[in-house]
Structure 1
Amino acid sequence: MDLTTATWTDARDLETDLAVVPVGSTEQHGPHAPLGTDVATAEAVADAGVDRCEREVARAPAIPVGVAEEHRQFPGTMWVSADTFRDYVGEAVSSLAHHGFDRVVLVNGHGGNVDALREVGGRLTRDGDAYAVPFTWFEAVGDHSADMGHGGPLETALLRHCDPDSVREDRIDEARDGAADGWGEWTSHANLAYDAAEFTENGVVGDPGDGDAARGAELLDLAGDALARLLEAVAERDVSRPADR
């Protein structure tokens, strides 16, 4: 059930303790893909996972701004500090838990959120407020994961499948021409760059031309199936904390 369109009595009558929260970012994705790419993809995967899950699941509204200062040179990008993000996500999940939805999967669409979401899940779980587990969709698509860039083939493919009108097809060549091959500038296993603008002219990493709608459909199937399995595991898990050794 989508809590955005449900009434409070609908939410009251849900017989589940399981919820998903899509988490994205509002940031540049090159000249061809919208600032809301990470929100749109997280929502699409969350919905696909809920549809595939045999259990009832409460689907919370998406959190649209994340840890994205690395894209600050590109107009339209928004960000908050990691501290603010952790507090906001944590309190949002705690509000769900207050109503009994205390097993939560955070469906993430932005790489910059990964570390903070793991910390949020740990804090909520250890404090006993809720059992929360982050799930980043592009880490759950098999061999495709190796092609994850930024505004590159995977995100463009998923948009072409789920929301084709959002992709500026007449700018794909421009996106490809100004793209970097990989994320960052690496020496001795250390990334010398902190901001995307240091290594990509237009914000793109990878070739968006390699992401067609058919690939997007496959990505959604893989990520949706993986999320459904995770939801089942979260629903079944003994979440009591282990005793001190």
Structure 2
Amino acid sequence: MAENEWMRLTAAELNARAKAGAMVIVPVASLEQHGPHLATGVDILCATGVAARVAAILGEEAVVTPCIWTGLAEHHMAFGGTVTLDYAAFFGVIRGVVRSAARAGFTRVMLLNGHGGNAEAVAVAGSELSIELGIPVAAGTYWHIIGDAFAPVLETQGNVMHACEAETSMVMALAPGCVRPEMLPEAHGPMTTRVEGQPANLYRRKSFAAITPSGVVGDARTASAEKGEKLLAIAAEKIAAMLRNPLLW
């Protein structure tokens, strides 16, 4: 199996991958509260886990950088245990990583986001960097990219929410030590962050403390490692197929 992690490759090996036309996948995440039952690194684990599985499918066509581990998480700050940046700092980190990849000779970059609070900002960053650097920079949040593909696996929801059945299942598969099973009975909350009458595409970011006392959106009580493995495999297959589409680039 081809080595895909940037940090495990030598400079000469990375130069060869760039010359061969490999793409760079940059996982982007957040360090924030995930309810009473999950460690704060959920988005880092999931974004990195999906990216690694995508790269395993793509082989030498892809290189994965270490995860950008902090993002826009102001809406979780009231719970504690959260690190956040402002947009300028967040964009600056992404810009530095992508610009470095471009200077190393890579000509295709995918910003693979794993935190809902980053979604709009990552999309804007991808567009701005495409213009600035003159290379295609794709950007998307993994569960948005795959549409409704998770729905057949999940019992209580159709897609990823927050510290929910989906995220908890994936963490059970990726890093079971980051789950507190004894707290699962408390790991549930409202099934949406939107108020009645608020359209899906109307953005009004509120503190999660005003939405869910538990810090959870969704219901993690039906989570399992088996579901998590299925979700990770689905995401990897769908995203790898998308990235192999030459029309995207």
Match of 2:95 among 76, 90, 96: 90
Q: How many residues align?
A: 235
What residue is the counterpart of 1:4 in the other structure? 7
Match of 1:149 among 161, 171, 176: 161
One-letter code aligned to 1:170: E
Q: Separation in 2 of the partners of 1:208 and 1:134?
A: 28
Seen in structure 2, the aligned counterparts of structure 1 residues 58 and 191 have a Cα distance that, compared at 3 Å, is closer
CA drift at 1:143: 4.7
Q: Separation in 2 of the partners of 1:221 and 1:188?
A: 33
2:79 alignment partner, SS class: coil
**1:132 and 2:137 correspond:** yes
TM-score, reference length from structure 1? 0.88
One-letter code aligned to 2:219: D
Seen in structure 2, the aligned counterparts of structure 1 residues 163 and 106 have a Cα distance that, compared at 3 Å, is same
What residue is the counterpart of 2:84 in the other structure? 79
One-letter code aligned to 1:194: K
Contact 1:20 1:59 in 2 (8 A): yes
**1:228 and 2:240 correspond:** yes
Runs of 4+ in 1 over 6 A off after TM superposition: none
Q: Separation in 1 of the partners of 2:127 and 2:139?
A: 10
Contact 2:143 2:159 in 1 (8 A): no
Match of 2:38 among 13, 26, 33: 33
Q: Separation in 1 of the partners of 2:5 and 2:59?
A: 16
**1:13 and 2:25 correspond:** no
* Superposed CA offset, 1:1-31 (max 9, x none): 2112222222223233411001100000001
CA drift at 1:105: 0.9
**1:183 and 2:193 correspond:** yes
Q: Separation in 2 of the partners of 1:188 and 1:113?
A: 20
**1:116 and 2:126 correspond:** no
Seen in structure 2, the aligned counterparts of structure 1 residues 238 and 80 have a Cα distance that, compared at 3 Å, is closer
CA drift at 1:91: 2.2
Identical columns (%)? 29
What residue is the counterpart of 2:228 in the other structure? 216
CA drift at 1:183: 1.5
CA drift at 1:97: 0.7
CA drift at 1:142: 1.3
One-letter code aligned to 1:169: P
CA drift at 1:85: 1.1
Q: Which runs of 5+ in 1 are unaligned?
A: 240-245
2:216 alignment partner, SS class: coil
Q: Which runs of 5+ in 2 are unaligned?
A: 152-156
CA drift at 1:55: 4.3
CA drift at 1:226: 1.3
CA drift at 1:191: 6.8
**1:161 and 2:173 correspond:** yes
2:217 alignment partner, SS class: coil
Q: Separation in 2 of the partners of 1:238 and 1:74?
A: 39
TM-score, reference length from structure 2? 0.87
Contact 2:169 2:223 in 1 (8 A): yes
What residue is the counterpart of 1:243 in the other structure? none
1:173 alignment partner, SS class: helix
